[in-house]
Chain A
């Protein structure tokens, strides 16, 4: 049987939750207060019949008392707590961190997956599994969900917030309108498995508080982590039109003796006034915390399975990790796309588009983390699925890096599997070279820097890889930091893709990998989209430290060019380069000058071989402006591989439209733009049977028989 936490702490919490005093319980059960105290401190355990009485007093069944995996529902149910308005009258009309990002699914996918990746459990070599589930609720299901989240308590707050003519207010009002008018609500759930989960205390430092209670708190403990600003989580709330995110977490380390189904909801609304009372903004869905100073404050609670299901938060497995349910998810970018297409109201399309955008965003940003090679597991597995009222609408789609980034994932795969070459001699090979990054000393710690060797991978690319000739740079978390074009490539360079693995990504053997990792992380701005000068870089290292990154870029571009391009020979020693340049032979006619005449041209040709073995030709001629003064003669020839083509005479040449045939020459009608004629070849002039050769028809100026 599954057994939860110890009896003592469990009982203590039940008493708190039900606001029952030890004496009250003692009276109800018929024991002394000292006995209850002994149970709580763990000095004694109640006998079976006493347990039955305790169950009765707490309005719980006996089984729960034995397993102790859930809390009593007696006393206070979970409810919303809205932070009261600031005493100083300050008002916040939104969360500034949320404005650091666009409400774009691509950004959400990047930031949320990034967080999951950073919280991957290091103990095992298994990947963290991330799953995005879009679920569209309508009708009865939507109504049930609203009941579950205590919508009636929330509605006055939404009404008040939506009435404000502020940016956030307008978004909320649009979200409410969509839900009510179209009876539709899109839930987007982000699950991760084999991650840490939201561990730690409700209020004190820890992952839980960092995500649920705080802003700009980054709990990333690992220098290899992707995030460092604590901004990314704001995208979860920014993606919700209603500013509402519900969270269910399975913890990797027990908190209060438990790991399963830690629930909390957080609502981000702007300042508002409801029933004459001001509210500061955020609100939490949870169980009233008996220990808190303010009796209304709520905390996370350990929910039972039914509650979890009714909130659409049930997790697929017991593996630790967190589920974020974004209520009223929307995608500004794809909405903009819909408007330009001219079909703004197509829901089906919208769900499908969101699904597709998620898959693409995951493929584009996390191909490297999803790539495997040799006997190594990937860091990440990701999938996207779409449901309607919980039923499958679009099949679960596993994001495969090879589809989204064939060349780059091939490069990384070869590196991880140790199949790289020094120079590319066959298409499909991956070349690996190292480029230096001189990591500077941390200020005040001489000798803390050194020369790191980053790994540069280069391979040929196809159209499926997007823009060619790019270097994609990343560090230990294997997330694309920047993608930049290699400049000044000589003509005729084949399209390629390059991947620069710096810091921990360069492999275990790379010198100064940890130092480089830290250095590069310091040089990333909140968007994590480049390595450049940052305030932190200036302070921790030196004002000129960012030059080391420029040097890395230069070295990288040089190394790439050496691998893929033929360097311009420095043969210009005799100083004739400019003359040479002007004396190129290309076999292409010079661009048409204004003296060139536009001639009537054959535009369409329909030719068949008749029963008598003669070619029967119907041809259409395009006549340019002023070209109708030209007299053109059609010439038929047999197609041969080399040498002159044998000319075939016409047995018959008839004008069809807009022209006349005079002595085998076409005279076009004045002002005509198109003309057509018909012809039959003279079989006696065929040097071979018509069925055995191709036919070439040309228009010549002047007389046809001169050809």
Chain B
């Protein structure tokens, strides 16, 4: 829990994106449809733009602050509201001031510029209320609770992301894949998002994991799918943990991209009962020699199994087989 040495208002600060305009070369302007951003998900999907060569995106914002509380309690003076657009992966950080609109200083509006070359993947957008407190200027007295995500490539405004899944014939694919032609699938974690390759040399593999066909086929498909997912989650976890940035004092940092999200999802199962940061430190310490890496493997395997919903798939398969047996004998 946090404590601050100065008073802060307790009311919520909310923010929403109200319009997005993209600018490209040759004065090309494009207003993004409102369906390109979602208030429910708090995501802006800039990939919906008609042209991909846009250079800047101007996001219009509207923020609501607990003005009445700030007025009545009176601890704060010179209140300003700023929007901050930041992306950890590129260390980009843009700040824009908002202006009060309407009576009572409750609504603050303004716009912030996103410069395409400054961003790689997903930027976070938040709003802070800054004021002078007890004679100290520039203190953050309140912030929006949940950051917005500005995704520069996505074309659907959703927070959750899916890994890429492609089907390819390993035998006839690029050189590096050929040695793996006996493997039904491969997980490649080197790209911007991990990619799962399904080997089409295995006839009917995709149909099977899609669960199409008879009852037996769908039961087998479900098992196969959970096995595939276990492989994927194990692989992405190892990739994520193996590529950490380390602070000067030896503390590992959560990666900003999908790696961080994977760790956040799986670490509670790998090291239960600890905060994610603690768990990360523990796992990193064991991996780099201080402790036993091998002891952790069952836990990683367990986390992946859980994430892949193997217990559920197994239970359903067993029940399904029993039912099939009954039908066969009946």
B261 at the binding interface (Cβ < 8 Å): yes
- Interface pair B34/A424, CB less than 8 Å apart: yes
- In the complex, chain B residues whose CB is within 8 Å of the CB of A593: 269, 306
> What residue of chain A has the Cβ atom nearest to residue B30's Cβ?
A425
The residue that B209 contacts in the complex, of A578, A584, A694, A697, with Cβ under 8 A, is A578
- Interface pair B18/A428, CB less than 8 Å apart: yes
- In the complex, chain B residues whose CB is within 8 Å of the CB of A491: 40-41, 158
- In the complex, chain B residues whose CB is within 8 Å of the CB of A565: 35
> What residue of chain A has the Cβ atom nearest to residue B193's Cβ?
A585
A492 at the binding interface (Cβ < 8 Å): yes
- Interface pair A576/B206, CB less than 8 Å apart: yes
Given contacts A563-B35, A639-B2, A691-B5, contact A579 B260 (CB under 8 A): no
> What residue of chain A has the Cβ atom nearest to residue B228's Cβ?
A579
> What residue of chain B has the Cβ atom nearest to residue A586's Cβ?
B160
- Interface pair B264/A589, CB less than 8 Å apart: yes
The residue that A579 contacts in the complex, of B39, B209, B306, with Cβ under 8 A, is B209
Give A494 to B269 CA distance when docked, in angstroms.
34
B297 at the binding interface (Cβ < 8 Å): no
Give A578 to B165 CA distance when docked, in angstroms.
10
Q: Which of A553-611 contact B (CB under 8 A)?
A: 563-566, 569, 574-590, 593, 595-597, 599, 602, 604-609
- Interface pair B210/A575, CB less than 8 Å apart: yes
- Interface pair B251/A644, CB less than 8 Å apart: yes
- Interface pair A701/B207, CB less than 8 Å apart: no
B330 at the binding interface (Cβ < 8 Å): no
Given contacts A576-B206, A697-B3, contact A587 B261 (CB under 8 A): yes
Give A639 to B20 CA distance when docked, in angstroms.
33
Q: Which of A596-644 contact B (CB under 8 A)?
A: 596-597, 599, 602, 604-609, 615, 617, 619, 639, 642-644
Given contacts A576-B166, A583-B162, contact A695 B261 (CB under 8 A): no
> What residue of chain B has the Cβ atom nearest to residue A643's Cβ?
B247
> What residue of chain B has the Cβ atom nearest to residue A561's Cβ?
B35
Given contacts A639-B2, A691-B136, contact A595 B272 (CB under 8 A): yes
Kindly provide the distance from the CB of A606 to the nearest chain B CB, expressed in whole angstroms.
8
> What residue of chain B has the Cβ atom nearest to residue A496's Cβ?
B34
- In the complex, chain A residues whose CB is within 8 Å of the CB of B48: 566
The residue that A583 contacts in the complex, of B39, B62, B232, with Cβ under 8 A, is B232
Give A492 to B165 CA distance when docked, in angstroms.
23
Given contacts A494-B40, A691-B136, contact A575 B207 (CB under 8 A): yes
The residue that B33 contacts in the complex, of A425, A589, A639, A697, with Cβ under 8 A, is A425
- Interface pair B38/A492, CB less than 8 Å apart: yes
Kindly provide the distance from the CB of A5 to the nearest chain B CB, expressed in whole angstroms.
58
- In the complex, chain A residues whose CB is within 8 Å of the CB of B309: 582
Kindly provide the distance from the CB of A575 to the nearest chain B CB, expressed in whole angstroms.
5
- Interface pair A425/B32, CB less than 8 Å apart: yes
- Interface pair B159/A586, CB less than 8 Å apart: yes
- Interface pair B307/A460, CB less than 8 Å apart: no
- In the complex, chain B residues whose CB is within 8 Å of the CB of A295: none
Give A617 to B41 CA distance when docked, in angstroms.
37
- Interface pair B228/A605, CB less than 8 Å apart: no
> What residue of chain B has the Cβ atom nearest to residue A689's Cβ?
B5
- Interface pair B3/A695, CB less than 8 Å apart: yes
Given contacts A576-B206, A597-B273, A690-B5, contact A584 B19 (CB under 8 A): no
- Interface pair B264/A605, CB less than 8 Å apart: no
B66 at the binding interface (Cβ < 8 Å): no
A672 at the binding interface (Cβ < 8 Å): no
- Interface pair B136/A492, CB less than 8 Å apart: no
> What residue of chain B has the Cβ atom nearest to residue A574's Cβ?
B167
- Interface pair A582/B34, CB less than 8 Å apart: no
- In the complex, chain B residues whose CB is within 8 Å of the CB of A602: 1
**Size of interface on A: residues with Cβ below 8 Å to B:** 66
- Interface pair B269/A576, CB less than 8 Å apart: no
Given contacts A426-B34, A595-B272, A597-B273, contact A579 B198 (CB under 8 A): yes
Given contacts A584-B160, A599-B273, contact A694 B34 (CB under 8 A): no
The residue that B60 contacts in the complex, of A426, A597, A643, with Cβ under 8 A, is A426
B320 at the binding interface (Cβ < 8 Å): no
- Interface pair B225/A578, CB less than 8 Å apart: yes
- In the complex, chain A residues whose CB is within 8 Å of the CB of B4: 694-695
Given contacts A423-B33, A427-B16, A566-B156, contact A574 B166 (CB under 8 A): yes
- Interface pair B18/A492, CB less than 8 Å apart: no
A230 at the binding interface (Cβ < 8 Å): no
- In the complex, chain A residues whose CB is within 8 Å of the CB of B162: 580-581, 583-585
Given contacts A427-B19, A578-B210, contact A492 B232 (CB under 8 A): no
Kindly provide the distance from the CB of B40 to the nearest chain A CB, expressed in whole angstroms.
5
- Interface pair B5/A694, CB less than 8 Å apart: yes
Q: Which of B26-67 contact A (CB under 8 A)?
A: 31-36, 38-41, 43, 45, 48, 60, 62
- In the complex, chain B residues whose CB is within 8 Å of the CB of A373: none
A693 at the binding interface (Cβ < 8 Å): yes
| A 663-707 to B, binary, CB cutoff 8 A, 1 in contact else 0 | 000000000000000000000000000111111111011000001
The residue that A586 contacts in the complex, of B6, B43, B136, B265, with Cβ under 8 A, is B265
> What residue of chain B has the Cβ atom nearest to residue A599's Cβ?
B273
- Interface pair A492/B62, CB less than 8 Å apart: no
- Interface pair B34/A460, CB less than 8 Å apart: yes
- Interface pair A590/B229, CB less than 8 Å apart: no
The residue that B18 contacts in the complex, of A423, A426, A700, with Cβ under 8 A, is A426
Give A460 to B265 CA distance when docked, in angstroms.
33
Given contacts A494-B39, A599-B273, contact A589 B265 (CB under 8 A): yes
Give A605 to B3 CA distance when docked, in angstroms.
7
- In the complex, chain B residues whose CB is within 8 Å of the CB of A582: 225, 229, 308-309
A495 at the binding interface (Cβ < 8 Å): yes
- Interface pair B265/A700, CB less than 8 Å apart: no
Q: Which of B220-278 contact A (CB under 8 A)?
A: 225, 228-229, 232, 247, 249, 251, 253, 258, 260-262, 264-269, 272-275, 278
Tell which of A424, A586, A605 has the most Cβ of chain B within 10 Å: A586
- Interface pair B265/A583, CB less than 8 Å apart: no
- In the complex, chain A residues whose CB is within 8 Å of the CB of B39: 494-495
- In the complex, chain B residues whose CB is within 8 Å of the CB of A605: 1-3
- In the complex, chain B residues whose CB is within 8 Å of the CB of A534: none
> What residue of chain A has the Cβ atom nearest to residue B232's Cβ?
A583
- Interface pair A424/B206, CB less than 8 Å apart: no
The residue that B272 contacts in the complex, of A564, A597, A690, with Cβ under 8 A, is A597
A67 at the binding interface (Cβ < 8 Å): no
- Interface pair A427/B18, CB less than 8 Å apart: yes
B163 at the binding interface (Cβ < 8 Å): yes
Q: Which of B83-106 contact A (CB under 8 A)?
A: 88
A377 at the binding interface (Cβ < 8 Å): no
The residue that B163 contacts in the complex, of A583, A617, A642, with Cβ under 8 A, is A583
> What residue of chain B has the Cβ atom nearest to residue A468's Cβ?
B40
Kindly provide the distance from the CB of A461 to the nearest chain B CB, expressed in whole angstroms.
10
Given contacts A579-B228, A599-B273, contact A694 B38 (CB under 8 A): no
B70 at the binding interface (Cβ < 8 Å): no
Kindly provide the distance from the CB of B203 to the nearest chain A CB, expressed in whole angstroms.
13
Kindly provide the distance from the CB of B29 to the nearest chain A CB, expressed in whole angstroms.
11
> What residue of chain A has the Cβ atom nearest to residue B187's Cβ?
A583
B73 at the binding interface (Cβ < 8 Å): no
Kindly provide the distance from the CB of A269 to the nearest chain B CB, expressed in whole angstroms.
56
Give A398 to B183 CA distance when docked, in angstroms.
74
Kindly provide the distance from the CB of B271 to the nearest chain A CB, expressed in whole angstroms.
10
B211 at the binding interface (Cβ < 8 Å): yes
A542 at the binding interface (Cβ < 8 Å): no
A493 at the binding interface (Cβ < 8 Å): yes
> What residue of chain B has the Cβ atom nearest to residue A697's Cβ?
B1
B120 at the binding interface (Cβ < 8 Å): no
8 tightest A-B CB contacts, nearest first? A607-B3, A587-B261, A425-B31, A426-B19, A427-B18, A576-B165, A492-B41, A583-B163
Interface residues of A (CB under 8 A from B): 423-429, 460, 491-495, 563-566, 569, 574-590, 593, 595-597, 599, 602, 604-609, 615, 617, 619, 639, 642-644, 690-698, 700-701, 707
Beyond A426-B19, A608-B5, list 14 extra A-B contacts (CB 8 Å): A426-B18, A492-B43, A566-B155, A578-B225, A579-B198, A580-B163, A585-B162, A590-B269, A597-B272, A597-B273, A602-B1, A605-B2, A690-B5, A694-B4
